[in-house]
Copies of this chain bind each other. A is one copy, B any other.
Amino acid sequence: MDINQVAQMAGVSRATVSRYFNDGYVSQEKRAAIARVVEETGYVPSRQAKTLRTGKSGLVGIIIPKINSASVSRMVAGITGVLNEVGYQALLANTDNDAAREVSFLRLFSERSKVDGVILMATVLTPAHDAAIAALPVPLVVLSQKLEGRSCVYQDEYGALRALTERVLSAGDRPAYIGVLEEDVAAGRRRREGFLAGCAARGVAVEEGACVIADFSIESGYAACERLMERGVSFDTLVCATDSIAYGAMACLADRGIAVPADVQVAAVGDSDISQVVTPSLTSVHYHYKTSGAEAARMLAESMADEDAVAREIKMGYDVVVRDSTRQKRM
Interface size class of A (residues with CB under 8 A): 35 or more
Q: Are A52 and B48 in contact (CB under 8 A)?
A: yes
Chain B residue numbers with a CB within 8 Å of A274 are 218, 247, 274, 277-278
Chain B binder among A20-28, A65-73, A172-180, A308-316: A65-73
Whole-angstrom distance between the alpha carbons of A244 and B96 in the complex? 25
Name the contact of A67 in the complex, choosing from B66, B77, B279 (C-beta under 8 A): B77
Best-surrounded residue of A69, A93, A108, A112 (most CB of chain B within 10 A) = A112
- Distance to closest chain B CB from A319 (angstroms): 19
Q: Are B94 and A80 in contact (CB under 8 A)?
A: yes
User: Contact flags (1/0) for A23-51 with B, using CB distance below 8 Å?
Assistant: 00000000000000000000011111101
Give residues of chain A (56-113) contacting chain B, Cβ–Cβ below 8 Å.
57, 59, 62, 66-70, 73-74, 76-77, 80-81, 84, 89-94, 96, 108, 111-112
Q: A278-B279, A279-B278 are in contact. Are A76 and B94 (CB under 8 A)?
A: yes
Could you list which residues of chain A lie within 8 angstroms of chain B, going by C-beta atoms?
44-49, 51-52, 57, 59, 62, 66-70, 73-74, 76-77, 80-81, 84, 89-94, 96, 108, 111-112, 114, 218, 244, 247-248, 250-251, 254, 273-274, 276-279
Chain B residue numbers with a CB within 8 Å of A84 are 94
Whole-angstrom distance between the alpha carbons of A81 and B46 in the complex? 29
Name the contact of A80 in the complex, choosing from B49, B92, B254, B277 (C-beta under 8 A): B92
A selection of 21 A-B contacts at a CB cut-off of 8 Å is A44-B112, A45-B112, A46-B112, A47-B111, A47-B112, A48-B51, A49-B52, A51-B51, A59-B91, A67-B77, A69-B73, A77-B94, A81-B96, A89-B91, A89-B108, A218-B274, A218-B277, A244-B273, A247-B274, A248-B277, A278-B278
